[in-house]
Amino acid sequence: MPKAPPVVREIIYAPAPKDSRITLQFVQGTGISSSAIAWFGGGIFSHVDGVLDNGRLLGARSDAVGGAEPGVWTRAPDYEKWKIKKTFTLPCYKAQHDAFYRFAADQIGKPYDKNSIVGFFTGREVREDWRNPSAWFCAELWAAALEESLISGQIFLPVNKVSPNSLAFILSSMGATIS
């Protein structure tokens, strides 16, 4: 009778638990421009801000609102009234959390990306790379932060397709909780 091969037991090492999280707030404002952005973006959202650990919001805006000039700034959590508001929270490692928010904080004071928003509305690529850090609109900023922090891999989207709705789709596919 042939001898049975020895039983090999594999040890499977589970990765360390994700001990931190990032949070993005997706909204639609009450104005006509907000509705137009949501419609052209193929969904219900017209803007996205990052929720900082202190509760303030960080994001790129085209208008002076919430006591801040246009561009990338922090604002109070209630800086505007929203028709729709959803919060997406994604688990991550502490180092990724820190890199995500550090990247975004390094963008404070940069201008709003007016050229890319024109491309968004016209369906044309007016800028070669949405990752160019010279200016941002809301979804570009947070998509770049996801890549820079290695929370996501490289996001393949043409420059005129980076929108709050595409970013919400990416986060939901990565397992974000939505509230």
Reported pTM: 0.85
pLDDT digits (tens, 9 = 90+) for 115-149: 777 766 666 665 667 788 899 999 999 999 999 99
Q: Looking at 1-15, 72-86, 90-104, which range is the least confident one?
A: 1-15
Q: Does residue 28 carry a pLDDT above 60?
A: yes
Q: Which helix (H) or strand (E) holds 170?
A: helix 164-173
Over residues 101-124, the mean pLDDT reads: 84
Q: Does residue 102 carry a pLDDT above 90?
A: yes
Q: Which helix (H) or strand (E) holds 169?
A: helix 164-173
Alpha helices, DSSP H only, in 1-154? 32-40, 94-105, 114-122, 138-148
Q: Tell me the pLDDT band of 151, cut-offs 50, 70 and 90.
A: very high
In angstroms, the first-to-last Cα distance of the chain is 63
Total domains, the chain: 1
Residue 137 lies in a domain: yes
Q: Domain span at residue 67?
A: 20-178
Please, are residues 143 and 130 in contact by the beta-carbon 8 Å criterion? Answer: yes
pLDDT digits (tens, 9 = 90+) for 29-82: 999 989 988 888 889 999 999 999 999 999 999 999 888 899 999 999 999 999
Contacts with 79 (C-beta within 8 Å, 6 or more apart), sequence order: 57, 65, 66, 67, 68
Can you give the pLDDT at residue 145?
A: 96
- CB neighbours (10 Å) of residue 178? 11
CATH for 151: 3.90.1720
Residue 8 lies in a domain: no
